[in-house]
Chains A and B, each alone.
Chain A
Amino acid sequence: MTEEDGKTQGMKVLGILDIHNTPCAREAILHGAAGSVAAGLLHFLATSRVKRSFDVGVAGFMITTLGSWFYCRYNNAKLRFQQRIIQEGLKNKVFYEGTDLDPTLKKTGDK
């Protein structure tokens, strides 16, 4: 996301990722943190291996973060696509209203 006037400066994780102003970033990292703790803890309870449990925790963080990020961004992209279709439809409705090309007339079978 951008950082133009009026917006909060945002918190940058590792100095690169602006989690305040990037859609889905905050949720992805929170899900990643939860996934990391869950994976690490479960592995530790099952095996009692400390070092390996940390490794599994980090792997869990990466997988959960990436999964949550893609899921959220994909849904946003779908919404944006629908929004564009609706905007186009609204514009066309104004153009075609009352003419033979009016799509609402075709559907109802008035013509």
Chain B
Amino acid sequence: MAHPAQLGFQDAASPVMEELLCFHDHALMIVFLISTLVLYIIIAMVSTKLTNKFILDSQEIEIVWTVLPAIILILIALPSLRILYLMDEINDPHVTIKAVGHQWYWSYEYTDYENLEFDSYMVPTQDLTPGGFRLLETDHRMVVPKESPIRILVSAEDVLHSWAVPSLGIKMDAVPGRLNQTAFIVSRPGVFYGQCSEICGANHSFMPIVVEAVPLEFFENWSSAMLEDA
């Protein structure tokens, strides 16, 4: 999960996020090489008064500084497009969950189960149990089976929200009157935290998202218990 002064990504918990991390490293290496080149050119320019002093027209340099950025852009764009299409794929989901954003909480509907729906409110700081994370824990977690394709339908009741879980590589806008869909596979059991990522009003910071990935057997136990409670 996130920690103070974090600059990079969180650990990946889904195949898509692994790909995103790889792409991030790839882009960073290109940025590093560009920075090195620019730094070298700056040093070269300021350390001598004689470099290219009388150049008025140079076709060679024009070609270099046109072709080189084009190659760099292609090197970034191709892997980026690959991941973009990878993220769009929704193959035979085992579970479909509808996440609806409200001011200011999330509600979840497991459409494959009858009446399995609940609201997920943030746990206030004074009610946190020891070890609980401030502004991140919810009273009801969204429980999903691990290593199963999950489809998530995202919408909103009132204003724009955004359902985002960085470890799973998901950020999907929740728009009133519109149903957006995305899919993910959680590759390991665990609890993954996210927050609303679209300014939605006064308590925008206080509607966290908690996804708990468990083995299928435990998921069935949880869903049965939830249905009994309903």
Contacts and interface: CB of A to CB of B under 8 A. Distances in A.
Interface of A: 1-5, 13-14, 16-18, 21-23, 25, 28, 51, 54-55, 58, 61-62, 65-66, 69, 73, 77
Size bracket of the B interface: 20 to 34
Given A14-B32, A58-B36, A65-B33, A22 B6 contact: no
The 6 closest A-B CB pairs, nearest first, are A17-B32, A3-B8, A2-B11, A58-B40, A4-B11, A22-B25
Interface in B1-19: 1, 3, 6-12
B40 A13 contact: no
Given A17-B32, A62-B33, A66-B33, A2 B25 contact: no
B188 interface: no
Given A2-B9, A3-B6, A3-B8, A17 B21 contact: no
Nearest to A21: B8
B102 to A, nearest CB: 31
A65 B28 CA distance: 13
9 contacts: A1-B8, A2-B10, A2-B12, A4-B1, A5-B3, A28-B29, A61-B36, A73-B22, A73-B25
Given A58-B37, A58-B40, A62-B37, A2 B32 contact: no
A25 B25 contact: yes
Given A23-B25, A73-B26, A4 B10 contact: yes
